[in-house]
């Protein structure tokens, strides 16, 4: 995600068409975090949120490292060769603020879809148990609702 985030701000290296910065800022965080949400299906929701936050921190750190320290990250040898401007760098800082909610939305959606499509073994066991309990409950209700046989009249004495 950080690689595409970096590439979108340097159109010379971008696989997308010119001017498609919005695509990578909106689509890529949601897509990548959706996949992470699918993979984090077996964890509880708070853990999934923490995974999302960690994903944002790592990707923004890599993107900032690539933009603000390209020599350290090995992208260019001479910083004067970097085709970025201060405006591009500032737009990257501000767009990093939008990554967090998009990543969180994508992760939670991925977890929700994963819970339906790829339930964990514990969830499957719990569902079977609930089905069996519900079946017993319905049987008990059916027995209770059955009309009792009318008592035979007593012989009069």
Domain ranges (residues) in the chain: 2-119
Q: Is 67 exposed, middle or buried (0-12, 13-18, 19+ CB in 10 A)?
A: buried
Q: Is 103 exposed, middle or buried (0-12, 13-18, 19+ CB in 10 A)?
A: buried
pLDDT band at 23 (very low <50, low <70, confident <90, very high): low
Task: Give the pLDDT of residue 27.
Answer: 77
Q: Is 52 exposed, middle or buried (0-12, 13-18, 19+ CB in 10 A)?
A: buried
Mean pLDDT for all residues in the chain? 76
Q: 17: which DSSP letter?
A: P
Task: Give the pLDDT of residue 52.
Answer: 86
Task: Give the pLDDT of residue 134.
Answer: 94
Q: Report if pTM > 0.75.
A: no
pLDDT in tens, 73-123: 666 666 666 656 666 667 667 777 777 888 888 899 999 898 888 887 888
Q: Which residues, 6+ apart, have CB-to-CB distance to 156 below 8 Å?
A: none
Q: Which residues, 6+ apart, have CB-to-CB distance to 78 below 8 Å?
A: 71
């Amino acid at each position: 995600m950080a690689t595409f985030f970096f590439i979108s701000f340097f159109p010379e290296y971008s696989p997308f068409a010119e001017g498609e910065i919005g695509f990578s800022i909106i689509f890529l965080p949601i897509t990548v975090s959706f996949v992470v949400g699918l993979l984090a299906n077996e964890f509880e929701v708070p853990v999934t949120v923490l995974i999302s936050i960690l994903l944002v921190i790592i990707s923004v750190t890599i993107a900032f490292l690539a933009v603000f320290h390209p020599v350290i990250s090995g992208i260019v040898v001479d910083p004067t060769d970097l085709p970025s401007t201060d405006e591009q760098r500032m737009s990257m800082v501000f767009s990093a603020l939008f990554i967090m909610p998009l990543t969180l939305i994508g992760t939670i959606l991925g977890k929700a879809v994963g819970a339906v499509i790829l339930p964990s073994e514990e969830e499957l066991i719990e569902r079977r148990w609930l089905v069996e309990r519900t079946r017993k409950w319905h049987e008990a209700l059916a027995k209770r609702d059955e009309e009792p046989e009318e008592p035979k009249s007593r012989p009069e004495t």
